[in-house]
Amino acid sequence: MAKSTIEKDILLVRCPNPHDYLGMHKTPKGVVVRAYLKDAASCEVVDVNDDMASRYKMKLIDPSGLYEAEIPGRDIFAYRLRTVSYAGEVRQFYDPYSFLPSLSEEDLYLIGKGDDHRIFDKLGSHIKTCGGIRGTAFAVWAPTARRVSLVGDFNEWDGRYHQMRALGSSGIWEIFVPSITAGVKYKYEILPANSDTPFLKTDPYAMRFEPSPYNASIVCDISSFKWGDAEWIGARAKADWKKRPISVYEVHLGSWKRKVEDGGRPFRYSEIGPELAAYCKKMGFTHVEFLPLSEYPFDGSWGYQVTGFYAPTQRYGTPLEFMRMIDDLHREGIGVIMDWVPAHFPRDFFALAKFDGTCLYEHQDPRQGEQKDWGTLVFNYGRNEVKNFLTGSALAWFERFHIDGLRVDAVASMLYLDFSRREGEWIPNKFGGKENLEAIEFLRSTNSLVKKYFPGSIMIAEESTAFAGVTKPVEEGGLGFDFKWNMGWMHDTLAYMREDPINRKYHHGQLTFPAMYQFSENFVSVYSHDEVVHGKSSMVNKMGGAYWGDKIANLRALYAYMWMWPGKKTLFMGSEFGQSHEWKYDSSLDWHFLEYPEHAGIQRVVSDAANLYLKDAALAEGDLDATKFSWINCHDGNNSVISFLRYAGKKVYAVVCNFTPVMRSGYRIGLPIKGEWREALNTDATIYCGNGDGNCGKVQASQIPCDGYEFSAELTLPAMSTLVLVASRE
């Protein structure tokens, strides 16, 4: 008998709807069952309700493993397949082609509309029960593919044996396989529209991957994990972080500390949580911010070139171990923020690039689809399914893994069509402007949905331009972020600190200018990983002057100034104790530097300043309020001294910074309150390995007008120091 067209398509692995041929189908005389099987010497159809008596032998109709059985007089019934392999192994299993689609019409409608807020429960691989049978459902978006097959260890990576079903015009391919459970490796074999050569792709929605070079997706089940952070999540939902202290410890997990006794390997997720939490509590940090922990192929990208937007990287353990780390941190009151990279993705062919043979996730036109600075591809934010993929990624990290916030990387590259492009290398928007309207809408929508579903979450933008309204609410026309990294403050202060102290008076404006825009956005003062790599030198070596004298004292003064300046705080690991080497992603921080009192003193200044900020809640309440800040004197460039006030409830803090290696006696500053001002912090104290100069713990403000204030006090300003004085308004 001649082969039908659909049978030929099955054998040639060209069929978009294999369920129309394989499985059980009604015929005028009864039913017919067809199965395409790997390594089966024989096969039978077994009635599950009468498996001893009702067995129907199948006929091999193609030597590659295509079997068929015509069963007269029967209506559709539940069945299993019973095979005997050439090696004599007997298997009995439910036929993947006997199941209805695991996605509903409503699912397909919402995904196509780009409005499925739980798309991570639909696409990808999911262990579930279908028709009373336990197995794994797979679904992938590949709209221009001619055929998609599920391949893996279970079918020897042969695309003939688990051909997937196309679900109408949705572009989604689906199959449910009863025999597949957690831990099974898989990929999708895709036959593109423009070639007869199929290729393999990892699952964009996979929750787990194997290491390079194979990078297979892995079926994952996290349902067994028992969270113990209900108290934290409940309190988070009620928190107004704009008025709460936020001191973020930025961490690259693979190089914070390493297991010296175990070959110098990085900590696993399951190991690092308690130790990291204890360190943060000691130091006064409220949150950890991890450099991206989404799966990525190249160690040297530090996680910023992502191939698994839904998966914790396998470098440090399994998703369950990742959950344990989050839970450990939460139980100790430490929040978790993770860097998230929706701006671009790498060209690695096993992942998103030309996913179905076309530019699916990226723009086809290189003027929109290529990011030349990083050699990566840019997402097509105008495509509903792409926006849904990215928004779903953000929501999944909160939902599945209980993270508390995302720091969105490279936002400026998303906002502007001409970002790092010359004339003629970019395409204006529909109004002729340079703003990327689709990316802006994506950011607004994602921020809104995160806030809707996860109260108390934190969204932070790394945005380096003067784009207006980054932290303005969406309903008021803004992007809807909670906070924005203050890149201008960072660059200006470091440029000033690099100067030899003798020259700083000529650069005084770099210290004072940031106050002009300090309250235009909700800012985070930050010294990040970007400032201690690629030849930029470590934080301590950025300071002007001699190493053991000026540089270390300068860094102590800078950190105290940072914590007393308005805004939230972020500091990259190792900077808190003045590591002298640039950060290296593939080795541990130089913790042995703490054996030197000078470096231990830097660490103690950070701890004392952060704990001062943490314990006086009123300070944080005024972080974003211009009425809670005022200059005492911002004009004393000749002495390289600045002084300002922070109003914190019933307290007033006076902060005086002397950024020269000259002690200044009898230095008068204006103050708003008469009487005693206590010295809350002096970075030159001997406990910090300073010289011990200062004001014996307090000063008296008398009724002598100065700096526009009714009262004033004479201070001794230690060389290269920050003083923090506090008085009560009662």
Rounded to a whole number of angstroms, the CA Rg of the chain reads 31
Please state whether the peptide bond connecting residue 213 to the residue before it is cis, i.e. omega within 30 degrees of 0: yes
3-state DSSP assignment of residue 584: coil
DSSP 496-561: HHHS-GGGGGGGTHHHHGGGGTTTSS-EEEEE-GGGGSTTS--HHHHSSS-IIIIIHHHHHHHHHH
Report the alpha-carbon angle 561-239-397, nearest 5.
95
Residue 3 gets which letter from DSSP? Answer: P
The answer to whether the CB of 605 falls within 8 A of the CB of 688 is yes
Q: Write out the catalytic residue numbers.
A: 409, 462
The answer to whether the CB of 697 falls within 8 A of the CB of 678 is yes
The answer to whether the CB of 411 falls within 8 A of the CB of 470 is yes
The answer to whether the CB of 447 falls within 8 A of the CB of 459 is yes
d(CA 48, CA 78): 6
Half-sphere exposure of 423 (CA within 13 A, CB side): 0
CB atoms within 10 A of CB 277: 20
Mention every residue, 6+ apart, whose C-beta is less than 8 A from residue 85.
Answer: 39, 40, 41, 91
The answer to whether the CB of 36 falls within 8 A of the CB of 108 is no
d(CA 390, CA 396): 10
Could you give the angle at which helices 597-615 and 552-564 cross, rounded to 10 degrees?
A: 10
3-state DSSP assignment of residue 253: helix
Phi and psi at residue 329, in whole multiples of 5°? -65, -45
DSSP 598-661: HHHHHHHHHHHHHHHHHH-HHHHHTTT-GGGEEEEES--GGGTEEEEEEEETTEEEEEEEE-SS
